[in-house]
Amino acid sequence: MGIGKYILILFTILVLYLVAWPVPINPVSWTPPLAPELQGKYAINDYLSSVKIINTGESYGPEDVDVDQQGIIYGGFDDGKIIRFRSNGDIIGVFADTKGRPLGLDFDNAGNLIVADAKKGLLSIDKNGSIITLVTEINGTPLGFTDDVDVGPDGMIYFTDASEKFSVIDFPTSMSASRADLWEHRPYGKIIRYNPYTKESTLLLDNLYFANGIAVSNDGQFLLFNETYDFSVSKYWLLGPKAGTREKIYTNTPGFPDGISAGENSIFWVAMFTPRNAAADALAPRPFIRKVVYRLPLFIQPAPVRHGFILGIDSNGNVIYNLQDSSPNSYSPITSVEEKNGVLYLGSLDYPGIGYIKHPG
């Protein structure tokens, strides 16, 4: 057999792989809105270039951060550990090990740390580090990607299940599971309320495009949540005449919205994982090509860029603060922001440390 036939056979195998090899996604065609330019209210700046880092030792990826009443900083890491730090950056030690992938963190009114663990579900950790599992399923369907959590002033716990189909348990990392959800682009996300007094869970919303960050307003009237792959922020009313209804307050975000948190002075901090990706947007109406691209090595696929990006919005979705750092050495991707005593504490999916910077106000 000549070398030409070998080349033809290898080429045929490659083509068959790219068009027929089984993949876990079944993409649907959709057309995203034209991404806004990073100018005007989204103009690139270097505010986040002043971010300082709290080193974490061997653990990395503090996806979410929270601060207790004593000013102790907590971060949930890729290896399952939740580690505590003093405000000066000194490591106190491991608070708990979920043996999963802790993402969202928030303290309840009794001082327990409530954890949205992508692999283990909704957890509660008491002050001694003892772990109790609160929720692993909703209406008979297992949680696939428990993502973020926030506790209301009345003690009710609200959390997101980003994707019931693409469970983190079935993928090497939470990033690879979310990537599958991105390429398929079907609404598998949910908003759930857990009542700690009755131990009951209630499905508030489903059919969401990667339900990610969630934040209850300080007065408990409503919550805001991000749909990462819809490029939007929505308001869900908890009290008043609009209770139980949802409205989009911010659409066509300039990046992929990840975590959201309620700050002071009615500001909500939205962490942008990365700016919008022109190549990914161009592939959106082409589901067959998306399956082909999904089979390619990761270094060939469209990928997020390192670009620190945070927006501060009001309760109606108006942009009040625009904080960025587009340098390749930026603290990024930023996945969460927690405001405490004039400081913004930053989490990241894969950065080996917790970031912090002075409030811009």
What residues does each domain of the chain span? 3-358
Residue 103: predicted pLDDT: 98
pLDDT digits (tens, 9 = 90+) for 248-301: 999 999 999 999 999 999 999 999 999 999 999 999 999 999 999 999 998 889
What does the buried/exposed string (b/e) look like for 133-169 if buried means 16 or more CB atoms within 10 Å of the residue's CB? ebbeebeeeebbbbbbbbbbeeebbbbbbbbbbbbbe
Coil, strand or helix: which one is 2?
coil
Between β-strands 334-340 and 319-325, what pairing exists: parallel, antiparallel or unpaired?
A: unpaired
Q: Is 207 left (phi over 0), alpha (psi -120 to 50) or beta?
A: left
pLDDT under 70: residue ranges of the chain: 1-2, 4-20
pLDDT at residue number 58 = 81
Considering Cα of 87, then 92, then 93, then 95, what sign does the dihedral take? negative
Q: CA-CA distance, 346 to 351, in Å (whole number)? A: 10
Report field, pTM of the whole predicted structure over 0.85: yes
Predicted pLDDT at 303: 87
Q: How far apart are CA 102 and CA 90, in angstroms?
A: 21
3-358 CATH, one of 3.30.70.100, 3.30.1510.10, 2.120.10.30, 3.30.70.80: 2.120.10.30
Instruction: Report the distance separating Cα 225 and Cα 222, nearest Å.
Output: 10
* pLDDT on residue 278: 95
- Of 91, 63, 96, 95, the closest CA to residue 78 belongs to 63
Instruction: Single out the residue of 276, 283, 275 nearest to residue 25, CA to CA.
Output: 283
pLDDT at 218: 96
Measured distance CA(92)–CA(127) in Å, rounded: 14
Quote the pLDDT of residue 15: 59
Tens of pLDDT, residue by residue over 206-219, are 999 999 999 999 99
Hey, what are 189's tokens?
């996300």
